[in-house]
Structure formats: C-alpha cells, structure tokens
C-alpha cells in the first residue's frame, strides 16, 4: 500500500525527474490559463481568448490525471486489490482523455472563431436593407 513498508516502491529516480517535469508543464498550463483569462479575455472580451484559456485549463487538468495514472496508481497495487486498482486507473485514464478532448474542442473553437469571425455591428452600420432604399 501507499504508506507501508517502502514508500513509493515503483518510483525510480528517473521517474521522479519525469514527474517533476510534468509538474512544471502543469504549472505552465495553469499560468497560461490565468494569463489568457484574466488579462487577455477580461480586457478585450473576445470569445477566442476565453476558449484559449479553457484550452490550457483542460490540458492542465488532463495532465494531472495522467500524472496520477502513471506515477501514483501503481503504488496502490497489492495482490488483494488488483480489480479495484485497475478500475481506479481506468477512471483516471478516461478522465484524462476526456479533458484532453475538451482541450482539443476548445482549440477547434478558437480556430473556428478566427477562421469564420462573427458579424459585428460595425460591419452592419454601412449596409442598408431593401426597405431603407
């Protein structure tokens, strides 16, 4: 179990370095989320900045679930609880892939807004309808 004889039995030195690099990546994802949400979106109110900030939030959450899946899940394994550990790992993997796909959906939202911008009121000011002519 996790807090018995030898703590983190399956975690080697190189796994710890890899996990630390993943933590740095997650930190940058959350930093970019806060930057795009509170500085870019708050000042301009453009919808693509909101989608872009949610993109980094979803990728950060997904990476946290992948960290639990890769590094902390195997520590829970015991000969008596193999089915429960496999179910727990599958839930973590499914949540990680779900948030990854949500991040991809946010990226597609940004792409869709930038490729097909919505009509603004400034564009419609110069146009007259048939009734106005």
Q: What is the mean pLDDT of each run of 10 residues along the chain (133 residues)?
A: 65 91 97 97 94 98 96 83 91 98 97 86 63 65
The pLDDT score that the predictor gives to residue 80 is: 81
Q: Counting Cβ atoms within 10 Å, is residue 80 exposed (0-12), middle (13-18) or buried (19+)?
A: exposed
Q: Look at residue 128 and tell me if it is in a domain.
A: no
Range of the domain at 50: 13-115
Q: How many domains does the chain have?
A: 1
Nearest CA-CA partner of 26 in 57, 3, 47, 50 = 57
User: Phi and psi of 9, rounded to 5°?
Assistant: -65, -35
State pTM to two decimals.
0.81
Nearest CA-CA partner of 67 in 103, 2, 19 = 19
The Cα–Cα gap between 61 and 31 comes to: 13
Q: Look at residue 90 and tell me if it is in a domain.
A: yes
């Amino acid at each position: 179990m996790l807090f018995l004889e030898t703590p983190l039995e399956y975690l080697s030195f190189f796994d710890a370095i890899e996990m630390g690099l993943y933590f740095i990546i997650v930190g940058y994802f959350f930093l970019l989320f806060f930057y795009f949400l509170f500085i870019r979106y708050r000042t301009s109110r453009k919808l693509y900045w909101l989608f872009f900030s949610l993109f980094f939030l979803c990728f950060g959450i997904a990476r946290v679930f992948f960290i639990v899946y890769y590094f902390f899940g195997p520590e829970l394994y015991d000969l008596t609880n193999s089915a429960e550990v496999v179910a727990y790992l599958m839930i973590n993997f499914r949540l990680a892939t779900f948030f990854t796909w949500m991040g991809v959906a946010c990226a597609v939202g940004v792409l869709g807004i930038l490729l097909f911008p919505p009509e603004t009121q400034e564009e419609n000011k110069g146009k007259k309808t048939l009734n106005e002519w």
